[in-house]
Structures are given as C-alpha cells and as structure tokens.
Structure 1
Amino acid sequence: MQRPLFLTGMMGCGKTTVGRILAETLGVPLVDLDARIERLFGQTIPELFERGEPCFREHERQALASLLAEPGFGGRGVVVATGGGAVLDPDSRAAMDRVGLRVYLEVGVDELVRRLSADDASDRDEEGAARPLLEGRARLRGRVAELSAARRACYRSAAVCVDAQGDPREVAARVALALGEGARDSEAV
C-alpha cells in the first residue's frame, strides 16, 4: 500500500481498533486523528468541544490539513483513523480523496448503540475519553440515529464501504480484501 488509507464512520464503528489491526496487517503506521488533535492543540477532545462543535471541527480540519501537508505523506502507506465528523467538511473529504483512499466502516444504529452502551460507558471511547456528542445517556439511540442519518451521504461517498459489524479482525480482513480487489464502488463489502 503506497497511499494513505482514511478510515471513516460513526463513533463506535471501530475506526481506531480496526485501524490498529489493519496497519499491523499491512505493515504500515497508524495515525489516530483525535490523538493528533490533542497533541497539536494541547487539549483533550472534550476540552475542545467545550468551546463549541464549530471550534472543534476547525481544529480537526487543521490537524488533518497539517497531516496531509507533511512531506511525502501522499506517497506513503499509512492508515489514518479519522474522527467521526472529519468527513463533514467538503474540503477535507476532497483532500483525503486527492492523496489517499477513504473507507467507510458501516455499522447499523442498533449495533452502534450496543457498542456505545457497553460497560455502562456510552459517553466514553475505547480508551476512556469522553464522547462530547453523546453526553446524556437517556437520548443515546435518538442521538446516534440523528448523527448517522445526517452524515450518511458523506460517509457513503467513500471509495470503499465495508460492513463493520462483527469482530474487528474480521472487519480488518474485509477492508484488506476490498483493497486487494480494488473495490471502488459504494456498496458495502
């Protein structure tokens, strides 16, 4: 793989987990965009969200732009686990498409709610960090359905769409298979 691979999808779809497995399988590094945002701006994602979602999205856009501007970035193999909203900005989508390949990890609302509700921590990610857009557990399903519907067109515009239900190793294998077959359509693999 000689170009960046951008994993996109809703929070809880497994971008970081699948990305880690996929990067190991392909023998390339993993870049977690949320971790990069925190390093670049010296604040956690929840702290940035305290200043409002538009402010956070601008930091997210800047972090992605700085990654894409690194010398030789477009010509090297790397897996990038984006934030769930990184594809909302049309310029960011276009930039990712110019230098690499976007892959949508598609998970249904019911499964997302199940994953996000696991271990009584729906407002936390796999590493325990807060998920600001999901604060307030009582409305979890409605909020996940709302975000998923609003973002679906952006996600499905990816070059490759992969069914991300199931074990993360199986999902990573499906992504690798889709890449090996040169999948370019928007049907879930």
Structure 2
Amino acid sequence: MKNKIVLIGMPGCGKSTIGKLISKELNLKFIDMDNYIEKMTAKTIPQLFEHGEDYFRDFETLACTELSERSNVLISSGGGVIKRKENIGILKKESYIIFIDRPLEELLNDVDISKRPLLKEGREKLIKLYEERYELYKSSADDIVKNDKGLRNTIDIMEKLIKFNLIID
C-alpha cells in the first residue's frame, strides 16, 4: 500500500512550499530530502557537490532508501532525484509520486540560482536542466499537477489526488 507522498520537479517548482502546507493540512510529517541529506552527512549540499555530482547522488540514493522505510510522510525530493532510475524504483514501491509541473518562464523568474549548486551558471543552465529532466519527471510520476494557477489551487488539486490515491494510517 502506498503510504507516503513524494514530490518531484524542477528547482523552484514549489516542492518545499507546497509540501509543508499539504503535510500540515493532512497531518503528515514533512521531510525535505536535501535537508535530510545535510543532516545525514553534516555537510551542505554545495559542500557535497564540491566532490562531484555523483558523490552527492550517492547520498541522495541512500536518503531515498532510508526515507522509503517511513510511513505517513510527505517528502520533498531534490530536483535531480529522477536522474537515477534506482531512486525512483526505491520510492515508487510505497510512495505516491507527484510531479509539480511549473512553467519554465515562472521558474526563470523566481529561482534564486545563488543557492543552487547546479544552477550557478545562471538561466541557461536552468533551461538546459528543464529540457534534460522534463520527460524524466513525467515518466517517474504517478500524477502530474500544473503549478500555474496559484498556490491554493495547486494545493487543492494535490490534496484531492492524495486523498484518493493514498492509504494513510
């Protein structure tokens, strides 16, 4: 039975903001995967990336494994979690995965690239990541929710989907 929610999507699509609000409304524990990795390693995400992306992704896979053992949680994944099929395989077993699909123009206007290791090259890098990842997000998700009509609208749609598709203790 699926007893947890995982949010996937581009940096800046709303995974953390929406996840925190929905988890409160549905009485679920909220876990931000990047924060979880930082606590696990006692290093920041940028510090982990200093050793290379693969080094970071290894910890991300470990986090997927550990978090997949929890129940009644809502997990906001890192934007690149879909880059390893293994991660999605681990999460899909007992998780309902929602892709928060936010239009590229809105991402470009809102994302603070200074705090994102993979985006330090600027807008062009965000566009490239979007093009590389979009189909992976779609193929990894159980459902896709557009985040283009306001926060409350997006949350309402997601809550209906979650209540319909999830077994929560």
- Asked whether the two chains share a fold, i.e. TM above 0.5, the reply is yes
Could you give the per-residue CA deviations for residues 34-81 of structure 1, whole angstroms, max 9, x where no partner exists? 00000000100010011111111111111111222x4xx2xx321100
1:134 to 119, 129, 134: 119
Deviation at 1:33, TM superposition (A): 0.3
Opposite residue 15 of structure 1, the aligned amino acid is K
Equivalence for 1:167: 150
Cα distance in 2 between the residues matched to 1:168 and 1:63: 28
Tell me the secondary structure at the aligned position of residue 113 of structure 2.
coil
Q: Does 1:123 find its partner at 2:119?
A: no
In structure 2, how many angstroms separate the alpha carbons of the residues matched to 1:24 and 1:2? 19
Match of 2:117, as an amino acid?
P
- Letter of the aligned partner of 2:31 in structure 1? V
1:127 corresponds to: none
**1:89 and 2:84 correspond:** yes
The TM-score with structure 1 as length reference comes to: 0.81
Pairing 1:143–2:125 present: yes
Q: Which residue of 2 aligns with 1:106?
A: 101
For the structure 1 residues 2 and 57, does the alpha-carbon distance in structure 2 shift closer, same or farther, using more than 3 Å as the test? Answer: closer
Does the 8 Å contact 1:7/1:104 carry over to 2?
yes
Distance 2:24 2:2 in 1: 15
Give 1:167 deviation, angstroms.
3.0
State the Cα distance separating 1:94 from its structure 2 match.
1.2
User: Residue 130 of structure 2: SS of its match in structure 1?
Assistant: helix
- Per-residue deviation, 1:152: 1.4
| Residue 179 (structure 1) shift | 2.7
Gaps of 5+ in 1: 117-121, 125-129, 183-189
Residue 181 (structure 1) shift: 4.6
CA RMSD of aligned residues (A): 1.8
TM-score, L = length of structure 2: 0.90
Following TM superposition, by how much is the alpha carbon of 1:170 offset from its aligned partner in structure 2, in angstroms?
Answer: 2.5
Matched, 1:58 2:58: yes
Asked if the contact 2:2/2:96 (under 8 Å) is kept, the reply is no
Using the TM superposition, name which of 58-67 and 21-30 deviates more.
58-67
Contact 1:18 1:169 in 2 (8 A): no
